[in-house]
Amino acid sequence: MLFKVSMTVRLPHTMAKDEAERLKATERDVAQALQHSGKWRHLWRVVGQYANVSIFDVDSPAELHQLLQTLPLFPYMEIAVEALCRHPSSIHQDDR
C-alpha cells in the first residue's frame, strides 16, 4: 500500500542545540535505513519549512504507524497521511 505522508517538525525553542543535533542525526540514520529497505520510497523537502513530503510503501496502515513511531523526531512532528492508489490515466505500469 502506498501512502503520502506530510511531516512538519516543531522542535521546542527550549531544546538544547546539542540535543536537537543528536536527534536530527539519529533521524537521518533511521530515515536512510527505511529508504534502503524500500519502505520509504520517496522523500522531498518542502521549501522554506522544516517539513517533508514522503511516499511510503508498506503492507498496512498499522505498519506505517509503527514505522512513523520509530522516528526519533516523531514526538515533535505534525503528520498527515493519505492513502494512494493508481490513477487510471497514468502512463506508468509501476508505482514510480
**Domain extent listing, the chain:** 2-81
Residue 96 — very low, low, confident or very high, per pLDDT cuts 50/70/90? Answer: low
CA nearest 5: which of 36, 34, 25, 26?
Answer: 34
Q: Tens digits of per-residue pLDDT, 13-62? A: 999 999 999 999 999 999 999 999 999 999 999 999 999 999 999 999 99
Whether pTM exceeds 0.85: yes
Give me the CATH code for the 2-81 domain, please. 3.30.70.1060
